[in-house]
């Protein structure tokens, strides 16, 4: 009798609770693949779930010309299993030395979607970044003319680290959107309520990517009860109210917000270090984490557009043709993964996620 009752409860749960979900294959609009040997780890990890990804150009030396971006693009393609259908997209590393001619010709390379602005010193490998946004204005003019997308790491390099995103918006982004009303801009990996509010009131030329870690965590996970270097990234995790604002933006169904994991691998020894590197490695688990978050907020139906439609639309691309199946089934994130000659500690290492990915045929 008892077992009959539990069987019935199980059946009712199966009927009324969503246990699986099919979405259009998603894209990752912000990822770091690194280079050379690392590509054999990072490229397959992203290609496993994502149909396309926008690969960041912060190598050393930085990828500031079309020819070095194209050489890197080839190295990425070479690291890809030919049976997997995955398309990398590229962006040029923007600084005062970028040649105007390269921007004039960028449209001839449909796999290069725009250029990325890093304020000099703001994050990992940003030493070749921009010192004066005003000096970039002639290049931004060209980008606006050719309708190229400007991706921005939106943090100033002075003042309190928790205020750097909000200050960048006030000091640089507000003037920039006034001076270039037609320039399409993506404020990458937003981390604050201030950024959400800015994007909401900005013109439709402005959008933002949101990472799984800024949705899942706040600065307590990084700092309370011990310093956890694997939760250290830039922009740094902020306050709980910022996390909540990001969650609301992500599930809102507003096309200005879409997925960009900012999966940024650093070997374990570079993270567990007296001066640990900024960056969280999430590629293999990002999709399941986004799904769990949307499910917890009772907004799983919005996941498809956030993961697979809004970003493509912003980049004037069609959504992917195929689909991917998500199942509400637990998966344990390993405590460590192999990475080049070291290990890497993935996001949420050693914890259990509520969702898993099942490839549909
Ligand atoms: C990124 C990296 O390691 O390249 N680090 C990070 O903390 N997000 C750079 C970046 O996107 O800021
Ligand atoms: Zn990044």
153 lines ligand 1 (CB under 6 A): yes
What pLDDT, on the 0 to 100 scale, is given for residue 4?
72
Helices 286-296 and 240-251 sit at what angle, rounded to 10 degrees? 90
Residue 259 has pLDDT above 50, yes or no: yes
Q: Which secondary-structure segment (H or E) carries 71?
A: helix 66-78
Residue 1 has pLDDT above 90, yes or no: no
Model confidence over 148-162: pLDDT tens digits?
A: 999 999 999 999 999
Cis peptide bond prior to 61, omega within 30° of 0: yes
What pLDDT, on the 0 to 100 scale, is given for residue 18?
74
DSSP designation for 134 = G
Model confidence over 14-42: pLDDT tens digits?
A: 555 679 999 999 999 999 999 999 999 99
What pLDDT, on the 0 to 100 scale, is given for residue 361?
44
The total of other beta-carbon atoms located within 10 Å of residue 134's CB is 11
Residue 317 has pLDDT above 60, yes or no: yes
Model confidence over 33-92: pLDDT tens digits?
A: 999 999 999 999 999 999 999 999 999 999 999 999 999 999 999 999 999 999 999 999
267 lines ligand 1 (CB under 6 A): no
Tell me if residue 143 falls in helix, strand or coil: helix
Least-confidence region, from 13-22, 117-126, 187-196, 218-227: 13-22
Question: pTM surpassing 0.75?
Answer: yes
Predicted confidence band at 328 (pLDDT cuts at 50, 70, 90)? Answer: very high
- 342 strand-pairing partners: 339
Helices 39-47 and 66-78 sit at what angle, rounded to 10 degrees? 80
Mutate to test the pocket of ligand 1, among 264, 267, 271, 345 (most ligand atoms within 8 A of CB): 264
Going from the Cα of 333 to the center of ligand 1, the distance in angstroms, rounded, reads: 22
- Catalytic residue, from 262, 298, 322, 343: name it: 262
Residue 351 has pLDDT above 60, yes or no: yes
Mean pLDDT of 240-244: 98
Residues in the chain: 361
Mean pLDDT of 326-334: 97
Predicted confidence band at 275 (pLDDT cuts at 50, 70, 90)? Answer: very high
Look up 295 and say whether it is catalytic. no
191 lines ligand 1 (CB under 6 A): no
What pLDDT, on the 0 to 100 scale, is given for residue 32?
98
Residue 12 has pLDDT above 70, yes or no: no
- 324 strand-pairing partners: 23
Burial class (CB in 10 A: 0-12, 13-18, 19+), 3: exposed
Angle 348-86-40 (CA atoms, 0-180°, nearest 5)? 60
Q: How far apart are CA 270 and CA 56, in angstroms?
A: 20
Going from the Cα of 180 to the center of ligand 1, the distance in angstroms, rounded, reads: 26
């Amino acid at each position: 009798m008892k077992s009959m009752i539990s069987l019935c409860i199980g059946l009712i749960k199966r009927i009324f609770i969503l246990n699986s979900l099919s979405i259009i294959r998603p894209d990752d609009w912000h990822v770091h693949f690194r280079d050379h040997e690392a590509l054999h780890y990072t490229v397959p990890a992203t290609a496993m779930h994502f149909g396309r990804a926008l690969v960041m150009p912060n190598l050393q030396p930085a990828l500031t010309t079309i020819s070095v971006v194209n050489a890197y693009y080839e190295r990425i393609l070479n690291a890809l299993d030919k049976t997997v259908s995955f398309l990398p997209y590229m962006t040029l590393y923007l600084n005062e030395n970028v040649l105007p001619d390269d921007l004039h010709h960028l449209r001839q390379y449909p796999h290069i979607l725009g250029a990325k602005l890093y304020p000099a010193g703001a994050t990992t490998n940003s030493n070749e970044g921009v010192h004066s946004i005003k000096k970039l204005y002639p290049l931004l003019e060209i980008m606006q003319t050719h309708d190229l997308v400007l991706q921005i790491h939106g943090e100033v390099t002075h003042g309190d680290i928790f205020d750097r995103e909000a200050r960048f918006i006030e000091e640089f982004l507000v003037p920039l959107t006034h001076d270039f009303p037609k320039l399409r801009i993506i404020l990458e990996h937003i981390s604050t309520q201030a950024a959400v509010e800015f994007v909401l009131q900005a013109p439709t030329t402005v959008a933002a990517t949101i990472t799984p870690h800024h949705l899942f965590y706040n600065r307590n996970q990084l700092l309370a009860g011990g310093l956890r270097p694997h939760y250290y990234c830039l922009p740094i995790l902020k306050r709980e109210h910022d996390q909540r604002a990001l969650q609301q933006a992500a599930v809102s169904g507003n096309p200005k917000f879409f997925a960009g994991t900012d999966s940024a691998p650093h070997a374990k020894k570079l993270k567990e270090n007296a001066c640990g590197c900024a960056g969280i490695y999430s590629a293999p688990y990002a999709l399941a984490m986004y799904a769990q978050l949307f499910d917890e907020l009772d907004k799983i139906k919005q996941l498809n557009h956030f993961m697979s439609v809004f970003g493509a639309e912003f980049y004037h691309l069609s959504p992917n043709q195929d689909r991917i199946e998500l199942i509400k089934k637990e998966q344990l994130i390993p405590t460590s993964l192999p990475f080049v000659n070291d290990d890497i500690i993935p996001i949420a290492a050693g914890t259990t996620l509520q969702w898993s990915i099942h490839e549909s045929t």
